[in-house]
Structure 1
């Protein structure tokens, strides 16, 4: 009994129009028929899966002769070790290394998609003074040394639980950022500079709307 065609968009992901393989987004069984309407392969109508393809594995959507480069992401990912027919499972049993020389470039195919014209451009977030946008609005309690870890955690714990922030509907929470360093650390040393860079990175994160910095609790 023939299988009813399944929409390709619900079963596999073609990463570039000319790729030989697509990524299965669900487990595919032999005999499954994929409807190619709306894809770069639409002129072929349908594609029948001839071998079991686990979810996340490669499904051949185009034939490849033995020795041919097999493409994914628009790039060669290896050479066909034997003839590969559309519908087959592509894996280490039929795909080998491609020794061809390549010129590697970074970011040359970056594409900025256009915003859909028929959808309102809204975003539930928080605008920061420097122009960045946050998806959360936390208050951070950051410790400069490990001596103040317990104090930072106790402060943050005061704002946990039901009703703790009912009077501040735009505050998502209070978070303690702690570490096990700082005390006795020379600020100009490699370790000291690494710690400062890390703390500055947390402090500068757009999801923090405010900060409380704690030094040694013993001072």
Structure 2
């Protein structure tokens, strides 16, 4: 069976990291090779760019420069981590991918969508997700979770105001509506176990698991 590429998207505090880990464990229990990763980051070079972006050091340069840095990090992530894993038949699960650039720097940062699309075409090419899970939570709830988690160490995007996060949510909802063949919207307001089950049902419905021996789910 060929590798599959699943991405998780959503605003700050939506629970992506938890669900990436849980889905990875559940797929691994079926005997699959699973690679869990994240953006920005996921490879040594991209992790360096992650620090630059999330520390806020690049913020004075504006959303266009941030979009270019995300694209550079993504190119390394794809070359070093994602494509080699997919080529050997692994399932790759990423906490964020190109949709975050579309939303954060495009829809919210007002970078020209044509430029965002050009950067995506250059860096991503044909390596696009088979399935994107968008975890949806109200901006107030997600921001509250993020602040509780990070405290005084809130990163570049977590530290933005409520209106920013509301705009993010709207943009992710629009993405889910615009690309229903790839994106599945999951209510992230539920408890973590309920979200995990909704994610699993989406994966079972969208991707071919029937030929895999169905072991005991974790």
Q: Give TM-score scaled by structure 2 length.
A: 0.25
For the pair shown, the structure with the greater C-alpha radius of gyration is 1
Greater strand fraction, Structure 1 or Structure 2? 1
Q: Give TM-score scaled by structure 1 length.
A: 0.25
Greater helix fraction, Structure 1 or Structure 2? 2
Question: Which one scores higher on RCO, CA 8 angstroms, separation ≥ 6?
Answer: 2
